[in-house]
Chains A and B, each alone.
Chain A
Amino acid sequence: MEFSFSEDQQELRRSARRFLGVASSEERVRAAMATEQGFDSAVWEQLASELAWTALTIPEAFGGLGMSYLDLHPLMEEMGRTLLCAPFFSTVCLGANALLVGADQAQKERWLPEIASGDLRATLACTEANGRWDSHGIEATYTRSGSSYILRGSKHFVLDGHTADLILVAARAERSRGPEGVSLFAVPASATGLTRRWLPTLDQTRRQAAIEISDVVVSADSLLGEEGQGWATCSRTFDLALIALSAEQVGAAEACLDMSVEYAKVRKQFGRAIGSFQAIKHKCADMLMRVESARSAAFYGSALAAQGEADLAEAASSAKAYCSDTVFHCAAENIQIHGGIGFTWEHPAHLYFKRAKSSEMLFGAPAAHRERVAEAMGL
Chain B
Amino acid sequence: MELQLNDTERVFRDEARAWLREQLEGPYRNLQGRGRSGDQDSFVEERIAWGKAMGAAGWNCIGWPKEFGGRACTIKEEAIFNEEYVRANGPGNVGHIGETLLGPTLIHFGTPEQQARFLPPIVSGEEIWCQGYSEPGAGSDLASVQTKATLVGDEWVIEGQKIWTSGAEYSDWCFVLCRTDPDAPKHRGLSYILVPMKQDGIDIRPIRQMGGSAEFAEVFYDGARAKKEHVVGGVNNGWKVAMGTLAFERGTSTLGQQYLFQQEFDEVVASAKQTGAADDPTIRQRLADAYIGLKIMRVNALRMLEADDTDLGREALISKLYWSNWHRDLGKLAMDILGPAGELVEEAPYTLTQTQKWYLFARADTIYAGSNQVQRNIIGERGLGLPKEPR
Interface residues of A (CB under 8 A from B): 1-4, 257, 261, 264-265, 272-273, 275-278, 280-282, 284-286, 288-289, 292-293, 296-297, 299-300, 318, 321-322, 367, 370-371, 373-374, 377, 379
When each residue 52-89 of chain B gets 1 if its CB lies under 8 Å from chain A and 0 otherwise, what string results? 00000000000000000000000000000000000000
| The residue from B4, B296, B321, B383 contacting A322, defined by CB atoms under 8 A apart | B296
When each residue 262-286 of chain B gets 1 if its CB lies under 8 Å from chain A and 0 otherwise, what string results? 0000000100110000100100110
Residues of A within 8 A of B375 (CB): 285
Find out whether the CB atom of A1 lies under 8 angstroms from the CB atom of B4: yes
Residues of B within 8 A of A284 (CB): 379-380, 384, 386
Q: Chain B nearest CB: distance from A316 CB in Å? A: 12
Interface residues of B (CB under 8 A from A): 1-2, 4, 269, 272-273, 278, 281, 284-285, 287-289, 291-292, 295-297, 299-300, 302-303, 305-307, 314-315, 317-318, 321-322, 373, 375-377, 379-381, 383-390
Find out whether the CB atom of A281 lies under 8 angstroms from the CB atom of B299: no
| The residue from B278, B296, B388 contacting A293, defined by CB atoms under 8 A apart | B296
Q: Chain A nearest CB: distance from B4 CB in Å? A: 6
Find out whether the CB atom of B303 lies under 8 angstroms from the CB atom of A4: yes
CA distance A197 to B130 in the complex (A): 72
Q: Chain B nearest CB: distance from A149 CB in Å? A: 39
Q: A1-B1, A282-B376, A284-B380 are in contact. Are A371 and B321 (CB under 8 A)?
A: no
CA distance A371 to B292 in the complex (A): 12
Find out whether the CB atom of B296 lies under 8 angstroms from the CB atom of A297: yes
Closest to B378 in A: A285
| The residue from B278, B380, B389 contacting A379, defined by CB atoms under 8 A apart | B278
Closest to A370 in B: B288
Q: Chain B nearest CB: distance from A263 CB in Å? A: 11
CA distance A272 to B281 in the complex (A): 47
Closest to A325 in B: B289
CA distance A48 to B272 in the complex (A): 51
Find out whether the CB atom of A379 lies under 8 angstroms from the CB atom of B379: no
CA distance A98 to B228 in the complex (A): 75
Q: Chain B nearest CB: distance from A55 CB in Å? A: 29
Q: A318-B295, A373-B292, A379-B278 are in contact. Are A288 and B287 (CB under 8 A)?
A: no
With A264-B386, A285-B321 given, can you name 16 additional A-B contacts, CB distance below 8 Å? A4-B306, A261-B384, A272-B387, A273-B386, A275-B380, A278-B376, A281-B386, A282-B377, A286-B376, A292-B315, A297-B292, A299-B299, A370-B289, A377-B269, A377-B291, A379-B287
Closest to A315 in B: B295
Residues of A within 8 A of B300 (CB): 292-293, 296
Find out whether the CB atom of B389 lies under 8 angstroms from the CB atom of A278: yes
Q: Chain B nearest CB: distance from A275 CB in Å? A: 4
Closest to B299 in A: A296
Closest to B314 in A: A292
CA distance A272 to B379 in the complex (A): 20
| The residue from B291, B307, B314 contacting A373, defined by CB atoms under 8 A apart | B291
Q: A3-B299, A4-B303, A276-B386 are in contact. Are A293 and B289 (CB under 8 A)?
A: no
Find out whether the CB atom of B292 lies under 8 angstroms from the CB atom of A321: yes
Q: Chain B nearest CB: distance from A233 CB in Å? A: 26
Q: Chain B nearest CB: distance from A247 CB in Å? A: 14
Closest to B381 in A: A281
Q: Chain B nearest CB: distance from A40 CB in Å? A: 33
Find out whether the CB atom of B288 lies under 8 angstroms from the CB atom of A2: no
Residues of B within 8 A of A370 (CB): 284-285, 288-289, 292
Find out whether the CB atom of B295 lies under 8 angstroms from the CB atom of A297: yes
A-B contact pairs, 5 of them (CB 8 A): A3-B303, A265-B386, A289-B322, A292-B314, A300-B1
Find out whether the CB atom of B387 lies under 8 angstroms from the CB atom of A3: no
CA distance A332 to B390 in the complex (A): 28
Residues of B within 8 A of A292 (CB): 300, 314-315, 318
Q: A1-B1, A288-B383 are in contact. Are A272 and B390 (CB under 8 A)?
A: yes
CA distance A1 to B305 in the complex (A): 13
Residues of B within 8 A of A278 (CB): 373, 376-377, 389
